[in-house]
Amino acid sequence: MAIDTRGETADKPSRPSGKKRTSPALFYRQIVAELRKVIWPTRKDLITYTSVVLVFVLIMVGIVSALDFVLTEGVLAVFGGS
């Protein structure tokens, strides 16, 4: 059985011609430049987002706990338990 191989082999990744590796200093400068473009949340926004996430997590914990309790009681009622 022959294997049809067309194109480049998979074991040697080729680098596009003309592209060089970025120096660590240039990479760092690019990161800093991108971080300056970010719109950081204000303290009020951060408190709002955090409280929304905490309330959501608490609601989900309540739902999962209630389902766990109901299903546990159901299984114990069906199969018996101590």
Question: What tens digit of pLDDT does each residue of 28-60 get?
Answer: 999 999 999 999 999 999 999 999 999 999 999
Does residue 81 lie within any of the structural domains? yes
Sequence-ordered list of residues with C-beta below 8 angstroms from that of 49, at least 6 positions apart, any chain: 41
Give pLDDT, residue 19. Answer: 75
Looking at the structure of the chain, the number of domains it has is 1
Does some domain include residue 78?
yes
- Cα–Cα distance, 67 to 59 (Å, whole number): 12
Whether 4 shows a pLDDT value over 90: the answer reads no
Is the pLDDT reported for residue 72 higher than 60?
yes
- Does residue 7 lie within any of the structural domains? no
What range does the domain containing 51 cover? 39-82
